[in-house]
Amino acid sequence: MSAETPKSQFLSEEMELFGGPLYRPDPDADSGDGTIASAAKANEDYSSDLMTFRHEIENCQNCPLGQTRNHFVFGVGNPNADLMLIGEAPGRDEDMQGIPFVGRAGQLLDKILAAINLSREEVFIANVLKCRPPNNRDPLPEEVAQCEPYLRHQIALIKPKLIVALGRVAAKTLLRTEDQLKNMRQKPFTYEGVDLRVTYHPAALLRNSGFKPAAWEDFQQIRDLYNAKRKDAG
């Protein structure tokens, strides 16, 4: 049997990762408007250096989650990343290690990034909340109110060209909407003046493999938009 070509090997890896046929979005499909106004500006009192900013806030006690966390989960990746991925909050593994997306969902995210020729060292990964809510419950509005300014300042310092909201909770929190995730996919939004797209959280793909073809559509579109923005930036 002849060896696989790089292209056929890549397609095989995609099939193994996402399962089923590789669906491609219709380029002529109407993606709708959905653009929202930018949220409040980042706090100008914070440091203009990302790592110094981390040290400024890592002992935060502005909400009760500061009393129950093991680690403050600031985020990880390229401080000058063009792509920023944002989840809702740290889980158990993230709380123990202080790094976002390190459990099974994180391993799947790494594979998805590899499938679009990226690694977590090239992007920046963070969450809306920096501390784990008890029993992984959804973030409370008062927790978001305390933590979201930190996220805004991260974005202001990193200056990504594209943001990806991972999952329904992250998307509805950032976009101030109660819409279903399936209605937000592949629609253009902005957050803090940055283009934003919505897709499934990797944990949802682990729970329901039926979401994987749709997630692959999303990440192909994300890859193409990311590459176009980098090309335009020259």
| Interval 54-77: pLDDT, tens | 999 999 999 999 999 999 999 999
By CB atoms closer than 10 A (0-12, 13-18, 19+), residue 165 is buried
The CATH number covering residue 42 comes to 3.40.470.10
Q: How confident is the model at residue 44 (pLDDT cuts 50, 70, 90)?
A: low
Residue 100 domain flag: yes
Q: How far is CA 170 from the centre of its chain?
A: 8
Residue 22 domain flag: no
Copy the structure tokens of residue 24: 């491609």
Domain count, the chain: 1
Residue 27 domain flag: no
- Let me know: does 38 contact 191? Beta carbons within 8 Å: yes
Residue 73 domain flag: yes
Domain that holds residue 56: 34-233
- Let me know: does 162 contact 176? Beta carbons within 8 Å: no
Top-confidence residue, 133 or 18: 133
In one letter, which amino acid is 160? P
Residue 224 domain flag: yes
Copy the structure tokens of residue 94: 């993230």
Top-confidence residue, 214 or 21: 214
Residue 17 domain flag: no
| Interval 136-174: pLDDT, tens | 899 999 999 999 999 999 999 999 999 999 999 999 999
What is the pTM assigned to this prediction? 0.82
CA separation for the pair 191, 173 (Å, rounded): 11
